[in-house]
């Protein structure tokens, strides 16, 4: 465009908000004509101060709806409600949510220690009533936005969220303070990103001790490093009534400390489960994100109210939205730490996939992880030298971090090849890999660091295994090999009719191997025919079953003696009506040969009803599986 000058004599500057008069076509700085940037979208025709005296004041667009970001859309009746609008806030207040008691922990400041979090984990939001025990420095309750302006500076330009349109605008602090204290507000503005560490206000506020002790920016970032540590530790949040921040995960998977000096905040929490994070990633990239309440996409959404004087710590990865029911002034900060390394890295990967704008990322995220790896290496090395067990969160976190560092180091190499060799990467990837290469600290040798971490992890795991050697499996849980013998018979699948069962609903699982007929040669046992038959009956059994304490011997051709010893309660079925027709051998009554040789009872639970089958090759006798007398007689007849 042609050079144009403002009333102040300065030429057109695209980096500063300027507006063109629709009548004289001149450009003006917003500050020169007392015109706010956020009003520009509402103007249909702008008249500069000179033209306004001739043509009248500027003409504003007429409002046609209250449920869309475009209030001037006259065809919005059939369109869904969008996030942040007046209709949305009204519907949100009327919704029912699960109680915070299921996910939020309440405790005293003295209880919140680093040891507690290391032992119990930092996996749920924590609320502390009051400041006692937190070792936190906060201004007095009468501290106001005018004081914020005095310490930070009225000319400080900051990002402001236009809630009803869910868009960002630029505004000077003095202008926002004037808006905040004006009772006749036409818009809803919210400030959530005023970082004041390097301002006069930074000296008045200190995070809770637990946050300062965990924060990597304090513990791993070298003081003499040429780049200043990430400035995300102190934020001032100034929100008017009905301010709303839609569902999000704090950048880089950082955890948050949050103290309400004045006012009140309502949090809507969603657990960072794998399923919920996957849904969150899809929702963030959807075309109708502003028309979809993410709390309806997941299994459960919890409501938690943080009141004046309370402090909250939100752990890594928790998806949350925030509603301000009354004007509020809040101080907080973000920090990375060693308790939730896997989740921090997972959130970072999600941010890259959804192509998050650089200004909304944790500054030097990869760099601080390289520094953290150095520190964690020293910790695990010291534990290994002293012979102490490495804590599980440290070991798991370091293993996950090692995987990411290797990936980032590989990306560095790919980036170099892309520059020197064939252009295998598109401009975006080349820029990204170059950025990755620049985030590796010059004081670190990546290959050596990765090698040392791998070595110490292996050492720690070997030590843990030596303390807890794996227990052998129980015999019953081992997978048994099938016997090689082709004569193996498996009765586990047989029907009840194949057995003489007592009781009839009991089905034994018996596996036995039938010997080959040619393997053994057995002679009938020599038993005196004059020996009386034992006719003592067990009254609990049917009267046709006789008990015969007998023993016989089979001689193998190789000289091995095979003994069959019948217990005192081994039974013989006797049918008096047909017993005269049955073959008799040495006072032993054999069953009818028409019966199957596999018909037998298994009372293996009754040890007294068993007999022993043993090879007489050593003085000791070994017991084998129980078989009944019918099967013994069958072997003898062979």
> How many Cβ atoms sit within 10 Å of the Cβ of residue 585?
13
Q: What's the pLDDT score for residue 130?
A: 85
Would you call 292 exposed, middle or buried from its count of C-beta atoms within 10 A (0-12, 13-18, 19+)? middle
**What is the pLDDT at residue 608?**
42
State yes or no: pLDDT of 563 exceeds 70.
no
Mean pLDDT along residues 458-465:
93
The overall longest dimension of the chain from CA atoms, in Å, is 146
> Which residue has better confidence, 36 or 542?
36
Residue 587, by phi and psi: left (phi above 0), alpha (psi -120 to 50) or beta? left
- Kindly indicate the confidence band of residue 49, based on its pLDDT and cuts at 50, 70 and 90: confident
End-to-end CA distance of the chain: 115
Summarize the confidence of residues 367-380 as an average pLDDT: 97
- Which three-class secondary structure state does DSSP give residue 221? coil
Task: List, for residues 310-366, the tens digit of each pLDDT value.
Answer: 999 999 999 999 999 999 999 999 999 999 999 999 999 999 999 999 989 999 999
CA distance 534 to 549: 8
pLDDT at 422: 35
More confidently predicted of 185 and 314: 314
User: Are the CB atoms for 344 and 253 separated by under 8 Å?
Assistant: yes
Under the banding of pLDDT at 50, 70 and 90, the label for residue 545 is: very low
Domains of the chain, each with CATH number or no CATH? 4-60 (3.30.40.10), 95-218+229-362 (2.60.120.650)
Under the banding of pLDDT at 50, 70 and 90, the label for residue 480 is low
Does residue 424 or residue 48 have the better pLDDT? 48
Nearby residues of 470 by Cβ (< 8 Å), 6 or more positions away: none
41 band by pLDDT with thresholds 50, 70 and 90 = confident
Please state, in angstroms and rounded to a whole number, the distance separating the CA atoms of residues 413 and 437.
Answer: 8
Summarize the confidence of residues 405-429 as an average pLDDT. 54
Query: 536 φ, ψ to 5°?
Result: -65, 130
Is the pLDDT confidence value at 7 over 90? no
User: Is the pLDDT assigned to residue 280 strictly greater than 90?
Assistant: yes
The rounded percent of the chain whose pLDDT value lies above 70 is 67
Q: Dump pLDDT digits (tens) for 74-132.
A: 899 999 999 999 999 999 999 999 999 989 999 999 999 999 999 999 999 999 998 89
Return the pLDDT at 474: 59
Kindly compute the dihedral angle of the four CA atoms of residues 46, 49, 51, 53, in this order, to the nearest 10 degrees.
120
Of 362 and 13, the structure prediction assigns the larger pLDDT to 362
Res 487: pLDDT: 54
- In this predicted structure, what is the pLDDT of residue 401? 97
Cis amide prior to 573 (ω within 30 degrees): no
pLDDT over threshold 80, residue 636 = no
Q: What is the DSSP letter of 137?
A: B
> Looking at residue 29, what is its pLDDT?
81
Q: Kindly tell me if the per-residue pLDDT of 412 is higher than 60.
A: no
Mean pLDDT computed over 547-567:
49
What is residue 555's DSSP assignment?
E
pLDDT band at 50 (very low <50, low <70, confident <90, very high): confident
**Residue 147 reports pLDDT greater than 70:** yes
pLDDT score, position 36 = 81
Residue with more model confidence, 429 or 42: 42
Q: What is the pLDDT of residue 478?
A: 56
Bridge partner residues of 20 (DSSP): 27
Which pLDDT band holds residue 5 (cuts at 50, 70, 90)? low
Determine the pLDDT at residue 378: 96
Q: Is the pLDDT of residue 614 over 70?
A: no
Query: Cα–Cα distance between 240 and 250 in angstroms, integer?
Result: 21
Between 638 and 232, residue with greater pLDDT: 232
Partnered with residue 303 across adjacent β-strands are 99, 268
pLDDT of residue 573: 47
Region of poorest pLDDT, from 50-59, 191-200, 483-492, 584-593:
584-593
DSSP assignment of 401-458: HHHHHHHHHHHHHHHHHHHHS---S-HHHHHHHHHHHHTS-TT--HHHHHHHHHHHHH
Q: Assess whether pLDDT exceeds 50 at residue 585.
A: no
Mean of the per-residue pLDDT values for the chain?
79
pLDDT of residue 248 exceeding 90: yes
Lowest mean pLDDT among 26-30, 203-207, 231-235, 523-527: 523-527
- Give the residue-averaged pLDDT of 197-216: 96
- Geometric angle at alpha carbon 232, from 226 and 237, rounded to 5°: 150
Give pLDDT, residue 588: 42
- pLDDT tens-digit readout, 483-541: 555 555 555 544 444 444 445 454 555 555 555 554 444 444 444 444 444 444 444 44
Return the pLDDT at 203: 94
pTM: 0.70
């Amino acid at each position: 465009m042609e050079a144009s000058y403002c009333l102040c004599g300065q030429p057109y500057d695209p980096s500063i908000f300027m507006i063109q008069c629709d009548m004289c076509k001149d450009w003006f700085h917003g500050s020169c004509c007392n015109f706010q940037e956020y009003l520009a979208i509402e103007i249909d025709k702008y008249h500069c101060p000179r033209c306004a005296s001739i043509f009248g004041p500027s003409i504003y667009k007429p409002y046609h709806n209250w449920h869309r970001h475009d209030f001037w859309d006259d065809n919005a009746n059939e369109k869904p409600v969008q996030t942040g609008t007046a209709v949305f806030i009204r519907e949100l207040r009327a919704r029912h949510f699960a109680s915070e008691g299921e996910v939020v922990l309440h405790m005293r400041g003295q209880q919140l220690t680093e040891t507690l979090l290391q032992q119990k984990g930092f996996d749920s939001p924590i609320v502390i009533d009051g400041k006692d025990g937190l070792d936190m420095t906060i201004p007095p309750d009468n501290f106001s936005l005018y004081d914020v302006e005095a310490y930070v500076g009225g000319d400080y330009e900051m990002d402001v969220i236009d809630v009803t349109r869910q868009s960002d605008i630029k505004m000077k602090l003095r202008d926002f303070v004037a808006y905040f204290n004006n009772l006749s507000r036409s818009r809803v503005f919210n400030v959530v990103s005023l970082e004041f560490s390097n301002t006069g206000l930074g000296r008045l506020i200190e995070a809770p001790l637990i946050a300062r002790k965990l924060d990597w920016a304090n513990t791993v970032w070298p003081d003499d490093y040429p780049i200043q540590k990430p400035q995300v530790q102190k934020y001032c949040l100034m929100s008017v009534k009905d301010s709303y921040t839609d569902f999000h995960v704090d950048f880089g998977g950082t955890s948050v400390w949050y103290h309400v000096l004045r006012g009140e905040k309502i949090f809507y929490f969603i657990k960072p489960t794998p399923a919920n994070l996957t849904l969150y990633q899809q929702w963030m990239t959807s075309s109708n994100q502003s028309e979809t309440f993410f709390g309806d996409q997941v299994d459960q959404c919890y409501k938690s109210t943080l009141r004046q004087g309370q402090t909250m710590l939100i752990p890594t990865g928790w998806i949350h939205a925030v509603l301000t029911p009354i004007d509020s002034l809040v101080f907080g900060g973000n920090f990375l730490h060693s308790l939730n390394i896997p989740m921090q890295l997972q959130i970072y990967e999600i941010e890259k996939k959804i192509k998050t704008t650089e200004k909304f990322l944790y500054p030097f995220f990869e760099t601080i992880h390289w520094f953290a790896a150095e520190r964690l290496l020293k910790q695990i090395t010291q534990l290994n030298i002293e012979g102490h067990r490495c804590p599980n969160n440290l070991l798991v976190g370091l293993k996950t971090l090692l995987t990411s560092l290797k990936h980032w180091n590989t990306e560095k190499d790919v980036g170099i090849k892309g520059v020197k060799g064939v252009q295998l990467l598109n401009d975006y990837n080349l820029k990204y890999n170059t950025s990755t290469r620049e985030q590796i600290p010059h004081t670190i040798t990546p290959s050596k660091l990765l090698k040392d971490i791998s070595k110490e992890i292996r050492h720690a795991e070997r030590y843990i295994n030596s303390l807890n050697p794996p227990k052998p499996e129980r015999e019953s849980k081992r997978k048994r090999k099938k016997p090689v013998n082709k004569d193996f018979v498996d009765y586990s699948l047989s029907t009840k009719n194949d057995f003489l069962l007592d009781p009839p609903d009991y089905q034994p699982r018996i596996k036995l191997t039938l010997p080959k007929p040619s393997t053994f040669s057995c002679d009938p046992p020599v038993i005196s025919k004059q020996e009386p038959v034992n006719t003592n009956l067990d009254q609990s059994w049917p009267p046709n079953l006789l008990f015969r304490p007998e023993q016989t011997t089979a001689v193998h051709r190789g000289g091995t003696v095979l003994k069959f010893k019948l217990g005192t309660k081994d039974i013989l079925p006797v049918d008096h009506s047909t017993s005269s027709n049955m073959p008799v051998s040495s006072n032993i009554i054999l069953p009818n040969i028409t019966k199957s040789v596999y018909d037998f009872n298994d009372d293996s639970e009754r040890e007294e009803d068993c007999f022993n089958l043993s090879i007489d090759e050593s003085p000791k006798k070994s017991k084998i599986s129980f078989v009944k007398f019918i099967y013994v007689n069958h072997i003898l007849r062979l």
